Amino acid sequence: MAGITGIFAPGKKKEVEKMLNKISHRGLKGKAILELKEATLGVVWPALYEPSLARWKKEKMVKDDRGTDHFALARVREKEPELKRDYIGVAPLYYIFNEKGDLCFSSEVKGLLSYGRKIKEMPPGSFFYKEKVNPYFRWKKLPLFRGELKIVAQKLRDKLSKAVKKRIKSNPAGSLLSGGLDSSVVASLARPRVQKMYTFSVGVEDAPDLYYAREMAKFIGSEHREIVVDLEGMLEVLPKVIYHLESFDAPLVRSSIINYMVANLASDYVPEVFSGEGGDELFAGYDYLKSLNKDRLPQELRDITFSLHNTALQRVDRCASAHGIVAQVPFLDQEIVDYAFQIPVDLKIKNGVEKWILRKAVEDLLPEEILWREKSKFWQGAGVEELLYQYAEENITDEDFGKERVLPNDWVLRSKEELMYYRIFRDFFGELQDLSWMGRTKVKE
What confidence tens digit (pLDDT) does each residue in 332-352 have? Answer: 999 999 999 999 999 999 999
Q: How confident is the model at residue 17 (pLDDT cuts 50, 70, 90)?
A: very high
Q: How far apart are CA 374 and CA 377, in angstroms?
A: 10
Q: How confident is the model at residue 378 (pLDDT cuts 50, 70, 90)?
A: very low
36 has a pLDDT exceeding 70: yes
Q: What percent of the chain has pLDDT over 90?
A: 87
Across the range 400-413, mean pLDDT stands at 96
> Each residue of 286-306: pLDDT tens digit?
999 999 999 999 999 999 999
3-state secondary structure of 110: helix
The whole-number pLDDT of residue 384 equals 72
380 has a pLDDT exceeding 80: no
CATH class of 149-388: alpha beta
> Each residue of 64-104: pLDDT tens digit?
998 778 999 999 999 999 999 999 999 999 999 999 999 99
Contact 42, 20 (CB under 8 A): yes
Q: How far apart are CA 228 and CA 235, in angstroms?
A: 14
Bridge partners (DSSP) of residue 45 are: 30
Q: How far apart are CA 433 and CA 88, in angstroms?
A: 27
What is the SS3 string spanning 359-402?
A: HHHCCCCCCHHHHCCCCCCHHHHHCCHHHHHHHHHHHCCHHHHH
Residue type, 43: V
Gyration radius (Cα) of the chain, Å = 22
The whole-number pLDDT of residue 444 equals 55
Higher local confidence (pLDDT), 142 or 260: 260
Under CATH, which number does the domain 3-135 receive?
3.60.20.10
Q: How far apart are CA 366 and CA 385, in angstroms?
A: 27
The whole-number pLDDT of residue 379 equals 46
Least confident of 110-124, 144-158, 310-324: 144-158
The residue extents of the domains of the chain are 3-135, 149-388, 396-429
Higher local confidence (pLDDT), 380 or 136: 136
DSSP 108: S
The whole-number pLDDT of residue 142 equals 82
- Entry pTM: 0.95
The whole-number pLDDT of residue 14 equals 98
The whole-number pLDDT of residue 381 equals 47
